[in-house]
Amino acid sequence: MAVTVRIPTPLRKLTNDQAEVDAVGATIENIIENLESNYAGIKERICDEAGNIRRFVNIYLNDEDIRFLDGTTTTVSDGDEVSIIPAIAGGASV
């Protein structure tokens, strides 16, 4: 399945400054592997050493957090949109 992947600004140096790239695969895990084969080094920024999504990275499939679906085994369909969103931390208390 071909999907569009939205790339966050911190990772765009790995995708030649592209904000969106195409990827193929049947699951989120396959999409990440396909991204890695096309943009070396991106997987280590998204996944930890065990291959799990890093806790400060959120991945959405068509606006749904994959943590509430089937995680990396979530299936994708042709034309879906995958968004990689780094978690935002910090701020000041009032």
% of the chain at pLDDT higher than 90 = 89
Q: What is the CATH number of domain 2-86?
A: 3.10.20.30
Indicate if the pLDDT at residue 88 is higher than 80.
Answer: no
Which strands, in side-by-side order, build the sheet including 64-65? 20-24, 2-6, 81-86, 57-61, 64-65
Confidence of residue 90 (pLDDT cuts 50, 70, 90): low
Indicate if the pLDDT at residue 11 is higher than 90.
Answer: yes
The strand pairing partners of 84, in sequence order, are 59
Q: Give residue limits of the domains in the chain.
A: 2-86
Reduce the secondary structure of 3-41 to three states and give it as a string. Answer: EEEECCHHHHHHHCCCCEEEEECCEHHHHHHHHHHHCCC
Q: Which residue has the tokens 């085994």?
A: 73
Q: Per-residue pLDDT tens for 63-74?
A: 999 999 999 999
